[in-house]
Amino acid sequence: MDTEKPKDVKLSDVESKKDVKKSGNSDDYLEKTIGAFGAWQAKVCILASLTRFLAMWNMLNIMFLTYDNRFTCVEFKGTQVANVTPSTCYDDCVQYEFETGIFVKGFVEEFGLICERAWMASFTQTILMFGLLFGVWLFGWISDRFGRSRAIISSACLVVVLQFGSSFAPDYWTFCALRFLMGVATGGQMIVAVVIVLEVVGARHRELAGACISLPDGIAEATLVAFAHFAPTWRIYLFSISAASALLMLIQILLPESPRWLMSRGQVDKAKMIMTKAVTCNKLNAASLEENINSKTPVDSKKKNNNTYLDLFKSKKMSIKTLAVIFIWVTHGMCFFGINQYCTFLGSNVFLSVIVMGLIQLPACFVATWLNKVYGRKATMISNLGITGLTMLLLIFIKKDHWAALTLGIIGLWAVNITCNVAYVWVSELFPTPLRNMAYGMGSSGAKVGAMIAPFIANLGPHWVPSLIFSAVSFLAVGASYVLPETKGKQLEDDINHADK
Model confidence at 474, pLDDT cuts 50, 70, 90, reads: very high
Gyration radius of the chain's alpha carbons? 25
306, pLDDT greater than 50: yes
Could you tell me if 282 and 40 are in contact, meaning their C-beta atoms sit under 8 angstroms apart?
yes
Amino acid letter, 369: T
Residue 112 lies in a domain: no
| Residue 495: Cβ within 10 Å count | 17
State the Cα–Cα distance between residues 169 and 234, nearest whole angstrom. Answer: 11
State the Cα–Cα distance between residues 358 and 374, nearest whole angstrom. Answer: 26
pLDDT of residue 7: 42
Tell me the C-alpha to C-alpha distance, in Å, between residue 197 and each of 6, 39, 363, 421, 449.
32, 13, 20, 13, 25
pLDDT of residue 328: 93
pLDDT (average), residues 43-67: 85
Model confidence pLDDT, tens digit, residues 371-383:
888 898 999 999 9
Model confidence pLDDT, tens digit, residues 155-211:
999 999 999 999 999 999 999 999 999 999 988 787 788 888 888 888 778 777 777
pLDDT of residue 241: 94
> Structural domain tally of the chain?
1
- What is the average pLDDT score of the chain? 81
Residue 167 lies in a domain: yes
Model confidence pLDDT, tens digit, residues 68-102:
678 888 888 877 666 788 878 888 888 888 887 78
Residue 172 lies in a domain: yes
433: which DSSP letter?
A: H
State the Cα–Cα distance between residues 301 and 264, nearest whole angstrom. Answer: 8
Residue 11 lies in a domain: no
Residue 111 lies in a domain: no
Residue 186 lies in a domain: yes
Task: Give Cα 294 distance to the centre of its chain.
Answer: 35
Higher pLDDT, 471 or 369: 471
Residue 9 lies in a domain: no
Model confidence pLDDT, tens digit, residues 208-253:
777 778 788 888 888 998 999 899 899 999 999 999 999 988 988 8
Domain CATH code at residue 51: 1.20.1250.20
Query: Which residues are bridge partners to 95 per DSSP?
Result: 75
Q: Find the domain containing 430 and state its range.
A: 21-66+120-499
Residue 77 lies in a domain: no
Higher pLDDT, 483 or 403: 483
